């Protein structure tokens, strides 16, 4: 069972009062409790079960502009006191940093908590096993699926309390139900794997097992017997599961920490055209039941909605208290990053998009870590499907795609098929003229 | 005799009893208890940005029968909590019954000292070191615009209680010193990253002002990249430098030789034991027994002593890397590769120090033999798709080779290849085998574990380079 708010509060109080007693001028504390249960199935047979109970505390103490942190999962009172001691001792000898402080009191969250982020539904292990076996059954009904890499179902419940010495003290429960199915297809000596994944706060919102299995099988079969193509300049279509990655890159490039240090290609681009005029990007924390929704960030600051890109123009950064001070801006509640980040729909249908050029390469998977936030260089491994005259023709693999994000962002056209499946979501994306490395 | 349970509400006798009673009817399993202390201090943007100390104590209780694994972990160490876990394991395995294999090899292996690297250097001197690194790096050139330096130390003590009361333990120190430098010149920005570390005290790595060399190297890489030109795209010959570039070996073949993927027949290598998978002269080992190395362990996280496992010998595939579960199901013995990130994670076969042994060629010979290609000296991260065998990694320092000579630096190239076939494309193996500086972390199924790699210079006949220049 996850611990209730009273239990978490008791631990928070022990740490806060102990650190005050030892001379800290300010302190903040996070106490978290979570229970997760995961079931793994492989080839329709139970492969494993995992149950985890986690309890942990993170304490940050301040002495004026000096700061230090400790974290622990050992919540015995004697151990906690020892750790607070240690935290205070370290704090005293850490140099001052003029930007260190608790968040602005006026920005603390205070309001209704009505976003529906917790589903108390509990599935027995049997129910979990049945769900995921049904998904694998469906995948195996495709005769090219010969094996699975494992499929799983997870249920996670957590509760937390965030408190600081300025009087903030709040927390709430969240839940997450997750299922994935990863299958292996085989034909004519070619072996490929692919997956489908679903994750929602409410059990009723996740994909039905049959859909999960059939989508995974379909993905894996479509990759069979790929060709390698010649190096060329070609326009790409990014599948929704990849196009959303560009939003994550964008988010790290406008984090106040990167802006303050100058380690981003989007430094000094505020109020400038970063994308073409068709593009709008929003970050909204108040969508009911959504994966990225939250009431306040990891400093207790209330979430406000941000229109980050309007008609291609950069309107705002993602700001926390510390880095906000460095760039003379107030926090906008993004110490824990983005919430529900998405591109607004474009004006073309998916079918119009894939018919927009005679030859297009549809990218379904990228591998590697080839994004350089500092200068915008982008180069990753990829696989996908060639589109000729608007029709999917043959799978392609062992290629690289490369470009610079400054150009890529200007050359994006979006379809009108946005769905809120993850916390970061994008419609299908067309990017003109990228360099593919192949034969 | 156990120290980790000493101050808890759970006595060793009670723990023994619950473990034996739970695991008696299973094939395998253990209670794994872990006490980890770690400290991270980061200097960023001219300031000590954070000093974090973490103390984590918990257990993971595992029962295995057939190919089904039941796992329950908690950081509440009490009889009640362990009994709950036991009930949970029993309910998963209720329809299965096995015979407990109590056999486990013993060892007196001592590859590192039982030290506490956090306490052996004072906080004051750690802060002073970071400030010195910052100042020194910034003083190298006015083009240095940003510096991030960090110190990480960890002491992880583990205990394994097996059915029947057998107790195995290991105390593992680990440190890492990191440096990242950003250089800005003529409107261009590039970074260079370098680090060192292993299972000794900080001072062993800081001897002879060694920290200056760490700064020098990070600056050199950033400064080289400032002059870089766009990378070519397409298939070409690739010369790899010695040491850290062996993450190619780690990605291209290492993961594909882990027991789980082969037992499940999802690895491109699963039916190739005894067959030729690499050029003649290519020998690859996974060695957990090198003194003080980041990837070394006295015993793995199931209690099996680590060893030097020959994976590929003179081009022929010899062995997979095994934990106890996959070894049992494949009728072989564990090679001491059973590892986990922490008590919160299940054991899987993982690499330790994965090394290609040296050959006879010189790097000069390799470069001379290339008309058009690239010379890759250092890499960022890599990734592999086990099933298709495709792998990528990103060059952080690379040069073009034209007519047998090293030319201009090239930027941000990605290399992509096919694991099983690229090993057969190795044309020359260098005589300059080198281990990496002690910085690698390998990720698999969401778990990160410290690893090492090593290799000599290599000439690969044909790889696809991903750049922007057609």
Which of A99, A100, A79, A90 has its CA nearest to residue A28? A100
Partner residue opposite B346 with nearest CB, options A50, A233, A260: A50
Q: CB distance from A101 to chain B under 8 Å?
A: no
Q: Which of residues 269-298 of B touch A (CB under 8 A)?
A: none
Are A90 and B53 in contact (CB < 8 Å)? yes
Taking the C-alpha atoms of residue A98 and residue A178, their distance in angstroms, rounded to an integer, is: 43
Report which DSSP code applies to B321: B
Task: Please state, in angstroms and as integers, the Cα–Cα distance from residue B298 to each residue in A435, B158, B162, B204, following that order.
Answer: 48, 11, 17, 20
Q: Which of A37, A45, A48 to mutate to test the interface with B (most CBs of B within 10 A)?
A: A48
Token readout for A146 is 């010969």
A47 → chain B, closest CA residue: B68
Q: Which of residues 413-432 of B touch A (CB under 8 A)?
A: 413-414, 416-418
Contact B294, B199 (CB under 8 A): yes
Mean pLDDT of B269-278: 94
Q: CB distance from A261 to chain B under 8 Å?
A: yes
Q: CB distance from A439 to chain B under 8 Å?
A: yes
Instruction: Give the A:B interface size as CB pairs under 8 Å.
Output: 244
pLDDT for B412:
79
Are B44 and A261 in contact (CB < 8 Å)? yes
**List of domains in chain B:** 123-227 (3.30.2290.10), 234-466 (no CATH)
**Chain-centre distance for alpha carbon A53:** 23
Q: Which of residues 431-450 of B touch A (CB under 8 A)?
A: none
pLDDT tens sequence for chain A (439 residues): 899 999 999 999 999 999 999 999 999 999 999 999 999 999 989 999 999 999 999 999 999 999 999 999 988 888 899 999 999 999 999 999 999 999 999 999 998 999 999 999 999 999 999 999 999 999 999 999 999 988 999 999 999 999 999 999 999 999 999 999 999 999 988 889 999 999 999 999 999 999 999 999 999 999 999 999 999 999 999 999 999 999 999 999 999 999 999 999 999 999 999 999 999 999 999 999 999 999 999 999 999 999 999 999 999 999 999 999 999 999 999 999 999 999 999 999 999 999 999 999 999 999 988 899 999 999 999 999 999 999 999 999 999 999 999 999 999 999 999 999 999 999 999 999 999 999 8
3-state secondary structure of B177: strand
Task: Please state, in angstroms and as integers, the Cα–Cα distance from residue A208 to each residue in A131, A134, A198, B399, following that order.
Answer: 8, 9, 9, 51
Are A370 and B188 in contact (CB < 8 Å)? no
Are A95 and B47 in contact (CB < 8 Å)? yes
Backbone angles phi, psi at A407, to 5 degrees: -80, -45
CA-based nearest distance A304→chain B, Å: 27
Q: CB distance from A349 to chain B under 8 Å?
A: no
pTM of the model: 0.93
Taking the C-alpha atoms of residue B139 and residue A110, their distance in angstroms, rounded to an integer, is: 48
- The DSSP H or E segment spanning B438 is none
CA-based nearest distance B233→chain A, Å: 5
Classify burial at A189, counting beta carbons within 10 Å of its beta carbon; exposed 0-12, middle 13-18, buried 19 or more: exposed
pLDDT for A76:
86
Q: CB distance from B373 to chain A under 8 Å?
A: no
Task: Please state, in angstroms and as integers, the Cα–Cα distance from residue A232 to each residue in A46, A370, A400, A433, following that order.
Answer: 46, 19, 11, 9
Q: CB distance from B466 to chain A under 8 Å?
A: yes
Contact A87, A69 (CB under 8 A): yes
B383 → chain A, closest CA residue: A368
Query: Tokens 């100390």 identify what position?
Result: B53
Q: CB distance from B102 to chain A under 8 Å?
A: no
Kindly report, residue by residue over A33-74, the tens digit of the pLDDT.
999 999 999 998 999 999 999 999 999 999 999 999 999 998
Are B467 and A54 in contact (CB < 8 Å)? no
Are B466 and A50 in contact (CB < 8 Å)? no
Kindly report, residue by residue over A290-323, the tens digit of the pLDDT.
999 999 999 999 999 999 999 999 999 999 999 9
Q: What percent of chain A has pLDDT over 70?
A: 100
- The DSSP H or E segment spanning B212 is helix B210-226
Token readout for A57 is 């505390």
Token readout for B386 is 């086990």
Q: Which of residues 23-42 of A touch B (CB under 8 A)?
A: 42
CA-based nearest distance B206→chain A, Å: 21
> Chain-wide mean pLDDT for chain B?
94
Helix/strand/coil percentages in chain A, nearest 5:
25, 40, 35
Taking the C-alpha atoms of residue B312 and residue B316, their distance in angstroms, rounded to an integer, is: 5
Task: Please state, in angstroms and as integers, the Cα–Cα distance from residue A212 to each residue in A31, A209, A419, A423, B392, following that order.
Answer: 35, 5, 16, 19, 28
Q: What percent of chain B has pLDDT over 70?
A: 100
Partner residue opposite B73 with nearest CB, options A52, A72, A399: A52
Token readout for A433 is 């003229």
Q: Which of residues 331-350 of B touch A (CB under 8 A)?
A: 344, 346
Q: Which residues belong to CATH 3.30.2290.10 in chain A?
A: 5-35+50-106
Q: CB distance from A161 to chain B under 8 Å?
A: no
Residues in contact with B203: Cβ distance below 8 Å, sequence separation at least 6, in sequence order: B120, B121
pLDDT for B9:
84
Are A375 and B466 in contact (CB < 8 Å)? no
Contact B206, B129 (CB under 8 A): yes
Contact B122, A89 (CB under 8 A): no
Contact B353, B296 (CB under 8 A): yes
Query: Taking CA A337 as the corner, what is the angle to CA A205 and CA B153, rounded to the nearest 5 degrees?
Result: 115
Q: What b/e string do you get for A331-344 counting C-beta neighbours within 10 Å, with b at 16 or more?
A: bbbbbbbbbbbbbb
Token readout for A296 is 């306040």
Q: CB distance from A94 to chain B under 8 Å?
A: yes
Q: Which of residues 293-332 of A touch B (CB under 8 A)?
A: 326
Taking the C-alpha atoms of residue B161 and residue B170, their distance in angstroms, rounded to an integer, is: 12
A5-35+50-106 has which CATH code?
3.30.2290.10
CB atoms under 10 Å from CB of B306, counted, come to 26
Q: CB distance from A437 to chain B under 8 Å?
A: yes
3-state secondary structure of A341: strand
Kindly report, residue by residue over B160-200, the tens digit of the pLDDT.
999 998 999 999 999 999 999 999 998 899 999 999 999 99
Partner residue opposite B67 with nearest CB, options A47, A370, A404: A47
Q: CB distance from B55 to chain A under 8 Å?
A: yes
In sequence order, what DSSP letters do the residues of A69-109 get, joined into one string? EEEES---HHHHHHHHHHHHHHHHHSPP-TT--PPPGGGB-
pLDDT above 70 (res B1) = no
Kindly report, residue by residue over A164-195, the tens digit of the pLDDT.
999 999 999 999 999 999 999 999 888 899 99
Quote the radius of gyration of chain B (alpha carbons, Å): 24
Q: CB distance from B101 to chain A under 8 Å?
A: no
Q: pLDDT class for B85, splitting at 50, 70, 90? A: very high
Residues in contact with B135: Cβ distance below 8 Å, sequence separation at least 6, in sequence order: none
Token readout for A22 is 């030892």
Q: pLDDT class for B95, splitting at 50, 70, 90? A: confident
Mean pLDDT of B441-459: 96
**Chain-centre distance for alpha carbon B171:** 18
pLDDT above 90 (res B322) = yes
Kindly report, residue by residue over B36-63, the tens digit of the pLDDT.
999 999 999 999 999 999 999 999 999 9
Q: Which residues of A touch B234 (CB under 8 A)?
A: 231, 437-439
CA-based nearest distance A114→chain B, Å: 31
Which of B425, B424, B395 has its CA nearest to residue B410? B395
Q: Which of residues 352-381 of A touch B (CB under 8 A)?
A: 367-370, 372, 374-375, 377, 379-381
Task: Please state, in angstroms and as integers, the Cα–Cα distance from residue B316 to each residue in B281, B286, B310, B312, B427, following that order.
Answer: 10, 15, 10, 5, 16
Left (φ > 0), alpha (ψ -120 to 50) or beta: where does B382 sit?
beta
Q: Which residues of A touch B417 (CB under 8 A)?
A: 398
Q: Which residues of A touch B47 (CB under 8 A)?
A: 95, 97, 99
Backbone angles phi, psi at B365, to 5 degrees: -60, -40
Q: pLDDT class for B2, splitting at 50, 70, 90? A: low
The DSSP bridge pattern shows strands B229-230 and B405-411 to be parallel
Q: CB distance from B72 to chain A under 8 Å?
A: yes
Confirm whether the ipTM is greater than 0.95. no
> Chain-wide mean pLDDT for chain A?
95
Q: Which residues of B touch A193 (CB under 8 A)?
A: 266, 385-388
Q: Point out which residues pair with B447 in neighbouring strands.
A: B444
Partner residue opposite A369 with nearest CB, options B50, B344, B380: B380
Are B413 and A260 in contact (CB < 8 Å)? no
Q: CB distance from B116 to chain A under 8 Å?
A: no
Task: Please state, in angstroms and as integers, the Cα–Cα distance from residue B25 to each residue in A421, B21, B63, B98, following that order.
Answer: 43, 8, 9, 5
């Amino acid at each position: 069972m996850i611990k209730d708010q009273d239990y978490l509060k008791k631990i928070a109080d022990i740490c806060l009062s102990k650190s005050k007693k030892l001379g800290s001028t300010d302190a903040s504390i996070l106490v978290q409790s979570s229970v997760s249960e995961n079931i793994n199935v492989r080839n329709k047979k139970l492969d494993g079960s995992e149950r985890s109970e986690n309890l942990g505390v993170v304490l940050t103490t301040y002495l004026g502009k000096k700061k230090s942190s400790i974290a622990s999962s050992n919540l015995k009172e004697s151990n906690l006191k020892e750790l607070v001691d240690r935290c205070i001792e370290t704090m005293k000898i850490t140099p001052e940093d003029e930007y260190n402080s608790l968040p602005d009191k006026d920005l603390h969250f205070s309001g209704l908590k009505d976003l529906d982020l917790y589903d108390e539904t509990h599935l027995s292990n049997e129910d979990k096993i049945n769900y995921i076996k049904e998904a694998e059954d469906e995948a195996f009904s495709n005769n090219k699926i010969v094996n699975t890499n494992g499929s799983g179902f997870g249920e996670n419940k957590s509760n937390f309390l965030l408190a600081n010495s300025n009087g903030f003290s709040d927390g709430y429960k969240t839940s997450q139900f997750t299922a994935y199915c990863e299958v292996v297809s085989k034909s004519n000596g070619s072996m490929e794997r692919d997956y489908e994944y679903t994750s929602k706060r409410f059990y009723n919102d996740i994909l039905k097992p049959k859909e999960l299995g059939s989508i995974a099988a379909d993905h894996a079969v479509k990759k069979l017997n790929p060709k390698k193509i010649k190096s060329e300049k070609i326009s790409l279509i990014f599948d929704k599961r990849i196009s959303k990655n560009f939003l994550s890159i964008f988010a790290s490039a406008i984090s106040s920490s990167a802006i303050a240090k100058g380690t981003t290609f989007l430094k000094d681009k505020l109020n400038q055209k970063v994308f073409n005029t068709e593009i709008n990007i929003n970050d909204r924390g108040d969508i009911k039941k959504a994966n990225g929704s939250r009431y306040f960030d990891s400093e207790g600051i209330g979430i406000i909605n941000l229109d980050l890109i309007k008609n291609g123009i950069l309107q705002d950064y993602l700001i926390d208290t510390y880095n906000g001070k460095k760039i003379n801006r107030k926090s906008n509640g993004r110490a824990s990053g983005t919430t529900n980040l998405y591109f607004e729909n474009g004006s073309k249908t998916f079918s119009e998009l894939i018919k927009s050029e005679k030859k297009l390469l549809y990218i379904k998977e990228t591998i590697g870590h080839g994004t350089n936030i500092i200068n915008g260089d982008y180069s990753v491994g990829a696989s996908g499907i060639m589109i000729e005259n608007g029709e999917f023709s043959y799978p392609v693999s062992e290629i690289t795609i490369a470009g610079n994000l400054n150009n890529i962002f200007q050359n994006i056209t979006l379809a009108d098929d946005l769905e809120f499946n993850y916390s970061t979501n994008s419609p299908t994306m067309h990017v003109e003229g990228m360099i593919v490395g192949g034969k | 005799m156990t120290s980790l349970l000493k101050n808890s509400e759970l006595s060793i006798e009670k723990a023994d009893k619950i473990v034996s009673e739970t695991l008696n009817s299973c094939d395998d399993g253990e209670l794994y208890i872990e006490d980890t202390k770690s400290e991270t201090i980061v200097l960023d943007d001219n300031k000590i940005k954070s000093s974090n100390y973490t103390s984590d104590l918990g257990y993971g209780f595992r029962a295995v029968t057939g190919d089904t694994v039941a796992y329950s972990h908690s950081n509440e160490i009490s009889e009640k909590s362990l009994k709950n876990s036991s009930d949970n394991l029993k309910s998963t395995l209720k329809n299965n019954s096995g015979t407990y294999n109590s056999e486990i090899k013993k060892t007196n292996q001592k590859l590192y000292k039982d030290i506490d690297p956090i306490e052996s250097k004072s906080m004051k001197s750690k802060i002073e070191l970071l400030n010195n690194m910052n100042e020194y790096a910034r003083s190298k050139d006015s083009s240095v615009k940003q510096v991030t330096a960090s110190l990480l130390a960890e002491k992880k003590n583990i205990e394994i209680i097996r059915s029947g009361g057998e107790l195995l333990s290991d105390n593992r120190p680990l440190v890492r010193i990191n440096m990242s430098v950003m250089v800005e010149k003529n409107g261009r920005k590039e970074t260079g990253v370098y680090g060192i570390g292993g299972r000794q005290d900080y001072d062993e790595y800081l001897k002879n002002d060694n920290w200056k060399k760490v700064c020098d190297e990070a600056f050199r890489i950033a400064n080289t990249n400032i002059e870089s030109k766009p990378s070519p795209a397409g298939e070409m010959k690739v010369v790899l430098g010695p040491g850290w570039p062996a993450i190619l070996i780690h990605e291209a073949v290492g993961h594909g030789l882990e027991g789980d993927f082969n037992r499940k027949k999802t690895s491109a290598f699963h039916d190739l034991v005894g067959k030729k998978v690499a050029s003649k002269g290519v020998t690859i080992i996974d060695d957990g027994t090198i003194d003080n190395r980041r990837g070394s362990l006295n015993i793995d996280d199931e209690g099996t002593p680590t060893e030097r496992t020959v994976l590929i010998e003179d081009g022929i595939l010899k062995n997979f890397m095994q934990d106890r579960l996959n070894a049992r199901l494949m009728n072989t013995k564990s090679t001491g590769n059973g590892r986990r990130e922490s008590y919160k994670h299940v054991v899987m076969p993982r690499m330790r120090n994965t090394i290609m042994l040296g050959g006879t060629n010189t790097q000069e010979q390799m470069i001379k033999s290339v008309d058009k290609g690239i010379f890759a000296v250092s890499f960022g991260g890599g990734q592999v798709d086990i099933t298709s065998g495709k792998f990528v990694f990103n060059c952080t320092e690379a040069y073009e080779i034209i007519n047998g000579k090293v030319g201009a630096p090239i930027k941000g190239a990605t290399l992509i290849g096919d694991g099983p076939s690229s090993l057969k494309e190795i044309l020359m193996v260098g005589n300059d085998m080198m281990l990496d500086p002690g910085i690698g972390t390998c990720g698999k199924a969401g778990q990160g574990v410290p690893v090492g790699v090593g290799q000599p210079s290599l000439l690969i006949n044909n790889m696809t380079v991903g750049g922007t220049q057609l």
